[in-house]
Each structure stands twice: as structure tokens, then as C-alpha cells.
Amino acid sequence: MHAGHEDTIAACADAEALLRAGRTSAARKAARAALYTEGPDPRLYALLGRAYAAESVEGHADRAEAVFREGLDTFPDDLGLLAAYTDLCLADDDPARNRRAPELAARIRKLAPESPHAAHAADAGGTPGQPSTGRVQRHDARLVLAVIGHAAGAAQQAWDQARSRPADDRTAVLAETLTALARRGRAPLRLLIRAPLAGALTCWAWFVLVLLAVVALRLPEWSGLAALLGPGLFPLLHRVLGAARRRALARPQVAAAPPSSRGTFPALPPVPPYTTREKTAAAVVVAAVAVTLTVFVDYLAGR
């Protein structure tokens, strides 16, 4: 049977329903089986890739990308496939994959500048000069934590907002982010969100001071590992935020709930560009770390 047959349409509907219900494994199996029996179809490729992307399992983002690429090899101008691939690149925590998003969004706008897919690509940050999804995520969490204060209460109010606007990805990402940050043992990550500049400077100052102390006091080389305790928070935060984005984008679509009367939730304004202060601090950190590493390597070489 050729793609586009009503059996393919029914298979797409079944896989979509499973995916929206959160049954990602079943959605993958349904889409894969339909591709095998009905033949190549861009909707099935998009569903299979989205099902992989919705699972926070190591390697599944790579599998999702492979599915999208396979589909685009056969259907290079399919807007649904391009949009799904763009969403993966924006939501994933792999910087190399993030950098592909603007190119994919440009292809969507070129093919159909007035389509909903093109508008979605622009809103998602697919155009040069717009803030990354990670920056928007951190900005929104910092704003709400500053206004509401308590992380658990902020998460609850964010979920109230998300349920009243189920199609709003930004609010859903915020709710998942605040929930993840409110968990026990994540106070250091909350500090990096609340005061990113001070937190970054403190972490890297720790790194520099520990390594310089090892050199100055001629301590054993292994003691320099303590320097990683500060900067080690950044990849941990990166993973937590990435997982929150994936959960939000994989959520099932539900009917809107009535607005909550639980306090006043702050509006989410446009995210400002990086300030001169932030750029200067980043340059100082890079220079200090480079000098410190040079000194430490010379120390190890002379031991």
C-alpha cells in the first residue's frame, strides 16, 4: 500500500493519541510498524522521531535525529518533519544540535513563510539574534523565584498557569523547571538561577583559588580535583534544565483549566540580551581560568 492511504492516516492518529497520552514506547512501536507495513510517510517519520525525543533515555535524542534525517532524505520539503526536527534541536542540551536549529527554521520560512510552522520556528528562537531556549528558561525561573520566593510555591503557581494555558510551551517549561529546582538537595542549583552572575563568579573563583593553592603549597596533584566542585554544578544544572524542557515539550495536550486565584503570577516579558556587565564577567572568568590552568600545568610538568 502506498503512503497517504487511509490506513496510514489511521495509523498516524493512533500513534499521535498514544504520544499525547504519554505512552511514548507504544507510540514508537505503532509508528515503526506502520512505516513497515504502509511504507514511507513523513507524518509517521515525524511521529516516530517525536516519540524518541519525548523519552529522557540516553541515546534517544540521537535516534530521534536519525529518524528525522531519514525522513527528510525522502521528503526534504515536508514542513511537519522540519518543524519536529527543529523542536528537537531547540530542546536538546547538545550545543551542536542547538546550532542546527536556525538553519532548519530558515528552511521552514523559505518553504512557507506564512505557515504556522514558520511562526512556531520564529517563536521558538529559530532566528539569529533571539535568545536560546535555555536562556529563556533560566530567565523565567529567576523572575518567578524573585517574585514568589519559595521554590515549591512558585512551581505550584506555574502549574496553575500552565493548566489554564495548555498550548503555551513557555509556561509549561517554566512549571517543569521550577518543579525540578524545588526538589531536595538542589539549593545550589537554585542559587545559580537566582544569582547567575554572582554564582558563576563564585564557582570559578573557587576553581582558581584551589588550583593556585595546590601550586603555592605544593600539595599532591590529586588535591586539585577539589577545584571541580564549583564548576561541576554547571553541567548538573544543564542536565536538569534540559530534562525539564523535554518533559514539557512531550506533555499530552489537555483541555484548559479555569484560571487559579492562588496569588498573582508575574507576566513573562521578552528576554533581554546579555548585558555589558555579563560579557565582561565572562571574559574575566575565561582569562583567569586560562592563566590558572597554565600555571597548574607548568607545576605538574615540574614535579
Mean pLDDT is lowest, of 31-45, 60-74, 110-124, 137-151, for 110-124
pLDDT at 118: 52
Residue 294 has pLDDT above 90, yes or no: yes
Rounded Cα–Cα distance for residues 83 and 53 (Å): 13
* Burial category of 110 from C-beta neighbours within 10 Å (exposed 0-12, middle 13-18, buried 19 and up): exposed
The DSSP secondary-structure symbol of 221 reads G
Which tens digits make up the pLDDT trace of 180-232?
A: 999 999 999 999 999 999 999 999 999 999 999 999 999 998 999 999 999 99
Question: In this structure, what C-alpha cell is assigned to residue 282?
Answer: 565572562
Q: What share of the chain is helix, strand, coil (3-state, %, to 5)?
A: 70, 0, 30
Q: Contact, 54 vs 246, CB < 8 A?
A: yes
Cβ atoms < 10 Å from Cβ of 298: 10
Global pTM value: 0.61
Which tens digits make up the pLDDT trace of 155-189?
A: 999 998 888 888 788 899 999 999 999 999 999 99
pLDDT at 3: 43
- Give the H or E element holding residue 51: helix 42-53
pLDDT at 9: 82
Rounded Cα–Cα distance for residues 242 and 26 (Å): 23
Rounded Cα–Cα distance for residues 57 and 79 (Å): 26
Which tens digits make up the pLDDT trace of 55-109?
A: 767 778 889 999 999 999 999 988 888 888 888 887 766 777 777 877 887 787 7
Question: Which ranges in 124-186 belong to alpha helices (H)?
Answer: 133-148, 151-164, 169-181
Across the chain, the runs of DSSP E, i.e. the strands, are none
Q: Which has the higher per-residue pLDDT, 289 or 263?
A: 289
Buried b (16+ CB within 10 A) or exposed e, 144-156: bbeebeebebbbb
